[in-house]
């Protein structure tokens, strides 16, 4: 008696799915570009929102750091855009709703923003609402640096992205190892069963 081939294929499929899930967890999340800029500059920021789950994204909410001034939001005929302002009249929250981002696709939302006057690091908060009611919360970091330090900040960003890639590769390697362990275990079990059957016969 041995494990049917369809069961072997199912176990292998689970292993491959685990690899893809690990990669998506490490890499697929909402983010904001650019990661660094200079003081007082009018900059076009792009909010990237992928749907890495099997359930569509139906709403995106962006919480803006206090020292950033949003001047304009890119028009979209698909999404309903709502804004919330603070006591200064600055936009502090933007919500996109009324449409969806299907699984394994992404959407981009652009904003024209004036950077803070002083260098520093700020965090944007992103809420990604799914059709099943679940909400994922992400943080995106923007570093405002003086013009003389722009090159160093760019190198730091490149190093950060390289670290992300390395992390993803490591997780994929772990997934491959798990799959190989499963396949090896199946072979050992089959071999033991065959040996016992030969002894009994």
Instruction: Give the whole-number percent of the chain exceeding pLDDT 70.
Output: 61
Q: How confident is the model at residue 7 (pLDDT cuts 50, 70, 90)?
A: low
Q: Which two tokens stand for residue 160?
A: 């950060």
Does residue 138 fall inside a structural domain? yes
Does residue 119 fall inside a structural domain? yes
Does residue 81 fall inside a structural domain? yes
| pTM confidence score | 0.64
Report the pLDDT value the prediction gives residue 129, as an integer from 0 to 100: 98
Question: Which residue segment(s) compose the domain that 53 sits in?
Answer: 28-148
Structural domains counted in the chain: 1
CATH number at residue 103: 2.60.40.2230
Does residue 41 fall inside a structural domain? yes
pLDDT above 50 for 115: yes
Q: How confident is the model at residue 163 (pLDDT cuts 50, 70, 90)?
A: very low
What is the residue-averaged pLDDT of the chain? 79
Q: How confident is the model at residue 22 (pLDDT cuts 50, 70, 90)?
A: very low
Does residue 33 fall inside a structural domain? yes
Q: How confident is the model at residue 171 (pLDDT cuts 50, 70, 90)?
A: very low
Does residue 34 fall inside a structural domain? yes
Report the pLDDT value the prediction gives residue 57, as an integer from 0 to 100: 98
Q: Which two tokens stand for residue 86?
A: 């603070």
Instruction: Give the whole-number percent of the chain exceeding pLDDT 90.
Output: 58
Does residue 140 fall inside a structural domain? yes
For residue 152, CA distances in Å to 143, 160, 168 come to 11, 12, 25
Q: What is the average pLDDT across 122-140?
A: 97
Report the pLDDT value the prediction gives residue 116, as an integer from 0 to 100: 96
Does residue 136 fall inside a structural domain? yes
Report the pLDDT value the prediction gives residue 16, as an integer from 0 to 100: 45
Q: Which of 4-18, 42-56, 61-75, 127-141 has the lowest mean pLDDT?
A: 4-18
């Amino acid at each position: 008696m041995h494990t049917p081939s369809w069961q072997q294929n199912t176990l292998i499929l689970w292993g491959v799915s685990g690899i893809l899930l690990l990669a998506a967890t490490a890499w697929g999340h909402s983010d904001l570009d650019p990661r660094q800029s200079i003081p007082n500059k009018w900059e076009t920021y792009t909010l990237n929102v992928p749907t890495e789950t099997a359930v569509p994204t139906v709403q995106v909410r962006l919480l803006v750091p206090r020292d950033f001034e949003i001047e304009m939001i890119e028009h979209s005929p698909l999404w309903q855009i709502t804004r919330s302002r603070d006591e200064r009249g600055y936009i502090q929250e933007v919500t996109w709703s009324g449409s969806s981002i299907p699984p394994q696709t992404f959407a981009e939302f652009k904003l024209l923003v004036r950077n803070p006057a002083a260098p520093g690091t700020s965090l944007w908060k992103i809420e990604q609402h799914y059709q099943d009611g679940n909400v994922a919360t992400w943080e995106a970091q923007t570093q405002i640096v003086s013009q003389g330090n722009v090159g160093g900040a760019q190198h730091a960003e490149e190093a950060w992205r390289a670290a992300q890639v390395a992390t993803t590769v490591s997780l994929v390697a772990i997934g491959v190892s798990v799959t190989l362990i499963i396949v090896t275990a199946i072979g050992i079990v089959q071999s033991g069963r065959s040996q016992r059957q030969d002894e009994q016969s």
